[in-house]
Each structure stands twice: as structure tokens, then as C-alpha cells.
Structure 1
Amino acid sequence: MRQEKNPFISIVLPVYNESAGIGETLTVLANYVRARPERYELIFVNDGSTDDSADQIRAAMAKNPAIRLVDFSRNFGHQLAITAGIRYASGDAVVVMDADLQDPPRVIPEMLARWREGYDVVYGKRRKRSGETWFKKLTAEMFYRLLKAVTSINIPVDTGDFRLMDRRVVNVLKQMNEQDPYVRGMVTWVGYKQIAVEYDRQEREAGETHYPLRKMLHLAMDGITSFSTVPLTLASWLSGFFLIIAVALFGLSLALGHLTSLTWVMIITLLVGAGITFTIGMLGTYIARMFAESRHRPLYIVADTYGFKTQTTQQTSYPYHALQN
């Protein structure tokens, strides 16, 4: 399939309130597909948008039969939207990219060239991050390096979800039914031959980012707790560290007599309490993940699909077998 002149390529795009820019995205992708020798399907996953993003996508389907739409019943989150799109994709290779054109389609041919060379995963590595604040750039850089330091797998730094995956990688990902998926970590965990393609990330064409600090922190926590047990060990060490400091301070206060015993007792209590609270918090995070997995709820609910050979309505699981070409 890789050496065919026109292999079938799926492009998956999660969408959440992209009304201001989705029209431009549809136009740019339509022009890209028209100019390329490969066959394409464009799978947009509407992650519970409250604007007219889905309406614009459905309107574009009348002019472009390559467009597909998976419509969630509500907002389930960016990573689950990617998961659903991957499961609905039927291409020989699957490209995941954002719907705001910050991941430029012009990089895809280079990814395809690497894929044809035999690489199973070709991920986009950012050289520049245009249009982003210094704070977001700094925190992103810190997060990627922290994640690499504490996890058991070598997740590439300065990479997002923009990547191309061979069908056999996609088939493995479909078997992973994690409630809080961290897709880029899961792709690294799968293994196979992987390589980077460097690119300059563009500014958003329109609209605002839907990844505020709160969501970034949540994604960071998912990444760390999915692939590392270091925080559990760190919590135990910190508790011991706080206890040693408390004992040392108490002994010093008695030796110097500068502070009352009551003051030192308060300091010790605060230090030990901080250590215990941190430990309980980390344990709670892991227990919460175990609880979520034990419920066996569907990862997402698909209200409707459009553009597939077999349409589905009110699905609580992905009907992949019904969507094969």
C-alpha cells in the first residue's frame, strides 16, 4: 500500500467551536486533496460544539464527497475526539491534525514520503510556535521535558498530536480502551519505526485557543499518570523529607531558644500536613484513574455520523466493523 501511487489516507480533525475558522480549513484541505495523487477522506469529529461548526461541515459535504462527520452527543474532550476519529478512519495511513490550520497541510507530503520509506509513525516536531504567548511556550517546553524525565517511555519533546500513523499502528491503538487517553504517549508506547518531521507551527487562522491553562494542566496530569509511577515514589520521599525538616527545626528551636515551642509546633504541623496532603493527592489521582477504568463506561457517545457508507445514530461504542470500505 505504501508504494502505491494513490494510497487511501484518512485525515482526522477534532473540532470544538471552530465556527470562525472552519470554513477556511475546509477550503485549504479541499485544495490540498485536489492537488494530491493520493485518495483522501477528511474525518471531522464534532466534540459537542455549541456554534455552527457542524453545520458548516455538513454544508461542505455537498461539494466534497471526501468529507465525513462524526457528531458527539456532547463535549467529551480533545483526546477522545482524536480517539473516535482514529477508530472511524479506514485509510492505509491516518493523519491527525488540529482544525485551526496551526498544523499546516503542506507538511503531510513530507510525512507521506517518510511513510513510504518504511516508517510507521511520522510525528511533527515544532521548530517555532507562532502566535502563542511566552507563558504558553515556556510551560509547554517545561512540560515536555518533565514528561520525558519521569515517564518510562521516550515521548519526543516539542511534539503534539500532529502525526501520520500506519494502519498497523492504528489497529493497535483501537485495542487500547483508556478512559483518559493521552494519544501522543500511547503512540510512542506502541513502538514500531518512528521519525520526526520538523515544521513551524502557524498562528490560528481565526478564533481562540480551546486549550486554556486548566485543560493544559489536565492533559499534563493525564500524560504523567498514564505512563509514570514516579509521582507515587516522589510523594513518599517528600513526606519523609518534610518529616526530617520538621524534626530538625524543632531541635534547632530548642537549642537556640529564639522561638516558642508553640510556634515550632505550628510550623511542624504545617510541614507535615503539607507532605501528607501532597501524598494523598497523588494517590487520589491514581485511584481516580483506576475508578474511571473500573466503571467500563463508553469512552464517548456518537449522536450521528455523516458521509460514511453506513450511517449510525446514538452509538455508545464505535461501529468500526460497519464502516469498512
Structure 2
Amino acid sequence: MLARQPHPRVSIVAPFYNESDAIRHFFAKVTTVLDELGCTDYEIVCVNDGSKDDTLTQLVETSRRDPHVVVVDLSRNFGKEAALTAGIDEATGDVIIPIDSDLQDPPELIGVMLEQWRAGFDVVLAKRADRSSDGYLKRRTAELFYRVHNRLSDTPIPENVGDYRLMDRMVVDALKLLPERRRFMKGLFAWVGFRSTTIEYVRDRRVAGNTKFSGLKLINFAIEGITSFSTAPLRLTTYAGIVVSLLAFIYAAAVVIRTLVHGIDWPGYSSLIAVVLFLGGVQLISVGIVGEYIGRIYMESKGRPVYLVQRRYGKRRDAEETR
């Protein structure tokens, strides 16, 4: 693998949604790490995803003090995947590093990532070797999601690897070619491929504030991920229909045989109701799965943009806009 330049332009991409309590900690930590690494040519792209608190105000004030900070203010809350897409689209660096603003993913890994990039890797993944900072239920559901997704999908995603990673400009340019609007970024990162390596770390607790992902949002996120990269659920409904039909045929044959032998119908109102309810449940699940895919087709067919930018802030962006 060819070695890269020693001092690339680095773009840090961080989505923000109601993170006013964490902003001060975030910039203090990230800028300290970059300064210690000797990075002089860098930018911190902050995407305000329709925050309701004073997140935008703090970000704008920071951008006025620090010329390295760029703020992209979206017109409303589009969700983390859209905000991450906006930040990646805005980034101008040779390497792009998405990171959460809550500092659960330690910025100290940036130096290790750059070393691996200089060695020739296009993507450097950060894998969570220890997730004890997350709750028990979140850890177990995450394990289940990775297991189910990778079993069903033709594009497996690395287990316990989030958005925190380093990507070469070539990888980001490839991501920009992908046209879908309902974006599951972990899957898109995996789909583009390129030469990658993995480093492990222990995930910390949030420096401030609370997580914005509720249990229901995590479930919807998992469904989004599975349906974005696999049609296996549709095939499973077909298999379920075949199995249920076979069981119904066996049940009907048993009724006929018993009637011929004993001369009476097979009693069992409760069992009949159970079978009817079971079949109804299978049908509703099947309709729901088909509806999920039809919904995705419907949203993609509209052709709406992934996000809308209300305004950009930052000395570098202001200079570019006045040219």
C-alpha cells in the first residue's frame, strides 16, 4: 500500500441536536487533540439538526472565535442520518472523521486513525471493545441487531462499529454517488467497501446531557437498517405462507380422516379460533413487511432532498460566499 502525505487536511464532522450542555466539552477536547497532533489545516464541521435549545447560538459563537469551525444550520430536524450526510457533503478535507458530540467516542483515537491512513488504508473503523457504559438492554438489543442484520443482508456491517471512523476523500466521493434519500449510513459505509482496518477502544459515558434515541427510535432504526440492505424479510413471508399452508392442509386432512373413522366432526372451537388468529397474525405481519418496502419506494419516488440548509456560519465559509 502506498504511503500518504504526513499532514493531510482533516475534516471532523459532528451532528448536534439539543447538545448545549456538551458543546464546551466537545470543542475543548477535539481542539486539544488536534493541536497535540500538530494538525494546523483542519476544520470542524458542526451540523445543527434543528435544535430547540441554544445549541445553534453556542455553535455560531464558537465559529466566530475559531476560524476552523464551520456551522451548517439545517432548516429543521431531519434526523441524525441526514445531518451526518450534510456534514460529510460539506467537508473539504483529505480525510473525514464523523464523531458524536457527546464524546462517548474518544477523540484521542484520531492520531491512531491518521497513522493507519498514512500506512495506506482508506477506511479506519473504530470498534467498541467494551460497551459497559451503555445499559444492559441497549447492549443486548445491539447484539441482536447486528446478528439479525448480518444474517439477512448481503452487505454485512462490522459489529459494534458506529459512525466514528476515518474515511479517505476517495471514499467520501463514492458515498456522494449513492442517490438514496432514506439513508442508513452504517450500511452505506460498508457498501462502498475500500481497504479498511479496525482499531478497538473502550466507549466512555456521555460528558453531558441525555441520549436522544429512545427505545422506539432504536427499533425503527433497526428496521430501517434491515430493510435498506435486504429483501430477506419478503422472502421470509413467502416461507411463512408455505409453512402455514402445509399446516392447514395437514389439519384439514386430520379432520377428514377423523370424520371418516368416527363419523363425527372433530370438536374444538378453541383450537379453531387459535388457528384463525394465528393466520390473521401472519397475514398482518406479511402486510406490514410489504408495506415497509412499499413505503420506501414511495419516499424515494418523491425525489426530495435528504436535507435543507438554512444558513452556514464560519469565517472560512463567509469568505467563500463573498467571493
TM-score (norm: length of structure 1):
0.91
1:20 aligns with 2:27: no
Distance in 1 (alpha carbons) for counterparts of 2:135 and 2:265: 47
Letter in 2 for 1:19: S
Q: Identity of counterpart residues, as a percentage?
A: 37
Q: Are the equivalent residues in 2 in contact too, given 1:250–1:265 (CA < 8 A)? A: no
Residue from 256, 268, 278 that aligns with 2:275: 268
Distance in 2 between residues matched to 1:93 and 1:2, nearest whole Å? 14
Q: Kindly report which structure 2 residues correspond to 1:1-325, keeping only aligned pairs within 5 A, or say none.
A: 3-38=4-39, 39-249=41-251, 255=258, 260-307=267-314, 309-311=316-318
Which of 175-184 and 198-207 deviates more?
A: 175-184
Which residue pairs with 1:319 in the alignment? Answer: none
Structure 2, unaligned stretches of length 5 or more?
none
Q: Which amino acid aligns with 2:26?
A: T
Kept in 2: contact 1:247–1:268 (CA 8 A)? no
Cα distance between partner residues in 1 of 2:108 and 2:265: 68
Q: Deviations over 1:95-141 (max 9, x none)?
A: 01100000100011111111111111111110111421100000001
Partner Cα distance (2:105, 2:286) in 1: 39
Q: Distance in 2 between matches of 1:62 and 1:308?
A: 7
Greater displacement, 210-219 / 86-95: 210-219
Residue 304 of structure 1 contacts residue 311 of structure 1 at CA under 8 Å; is this kept in 2? no
Query: Please, which runs of 5 or more residues in structure 1 have no aligned partner?
Result: 313-321
- Decide whether the 8 Å contact of 2:153 with 2:229 is kept in 1: yes
| Deviation larger for 285-294 or 152-161 | 152-161
CA distance in 2, matches of 1:13, 1:2: 28
**Could you tell which deviates more after superposition, 2-11 or 98-107?**
2-11
- What is the RMSD of the two structures over their aligned residues, measured on CA atoms? 2.3
C-alpha deviation, 1:22, in angstroms? 1.4
CA contact (8 A) 2:72 2:87 kept: yes
Supply the AA of the counterpart residue of 2:307.
Y
* 1:257-305 Cα distance to aligned partner (Å, 9 max, x none): 9973433332222121111111111111111101100000111111111
Tell me the distance in 2 between the aligned counterparts of 1:258 and 1:10: 75
Give 1:309 deviation, angstroms: 3.8
Per the alignment, in what secondary structure is the counterpart of residue 285 of structure 2?
helix
Q: CA deviation at 1:253?
A: 6.6
What is the letter of the counterpart of residue 7 of structure 2? N
Residue 63 of structure 2 contacts residue 315 of structure 2 at CA under 8 Å; is this kept in 1?
no
Give the Cα–Cα distance (whole angstroms) in 2 for the partners of residues 250 and 264 of structure 1. 13
Separation in 2, partners of 1:309, 1:2: 30
1 CA distance for matches of 2:108 and 2:25?
A: 15
In the alignment, the residues of structure 2 paired with residue 250 and residue 134 of structure 1 have an alpha-carbon distance, to the nearest angstrom, of 46
User: What secondary structure sits across from 1:218 in the alignment?
Assistant: helix
Note the alpha carbon deviations across 1:295-318, whole angstroms, 9 max, x for none.
Answer: 001111111111164459xxxxxx
Q: Structure 1's 276 and 101: CA in aligned 2 closer, same or farther, altered over 3 A?
A: same
CA distance in 1, matches of 2:112, 2:251: 60
**Displacement of 1:252 after TM fit?**
5.3
CA distance in 1, matches of 2:267, 2:61: 75
Instruction: Pick which of 243-252 and 74-83 moved more.
Output: 243-252
Does structure 1 retain, via aligned residues, the 8 Å contact 2:23–2:58? Answer: yes
SS in 2 for 1:20: coil
Q: Is the 8 A contact 2:67 2:316 kept in 1?
A: no
